[in-house]
Amino acid sequence: METERTNIPAKQRRRIKKSISISEATDAKVTDLRSWTDTDTESEAYRNAVRIHHYLVQAFRAGKPIKVGDEVLLETALCIPPS
């Protein structure tokens, strides 16, 4: 799913600074993601994680089955409240 925003050059995109608190476990996961990918910064790792989560929730809401290997992701895995 591509949006118009991805076509805007990085220097022209408006950035909003946020401060968040995370657990040590979450920090370790971000460190893992950075080491497993070509992500240059923690911010980029968080942005990528949010993009993936957004895509998965959109797909789920559209009724598309979401599989990882042989397992279907459930609402609880995506933190989607029951309807």
- Kindly report the pTM of this predicted structure: 0.65
According to the model, what pLDDT value does residue 1 have?
44
pLDDT tens digits, 39-81: 989 999 999 999 988 888 888 888 887 777 776 666 656 667 7
The pLDDT tens digits for 4-36 are 456 767 667 788 888 889 999 999 999 999 999
Q: End-to-end distance of the chain based on CA atoms, in angstroms?
A: 24
Burial (0-12, 13-18, 19+ Cβ within 10 Å), 60: middle
The 8-class DSSP code of residue 43 comes to: H
Query: What Rg do the C-alpha atoms of the chain give, in angstroms?
Result: 15
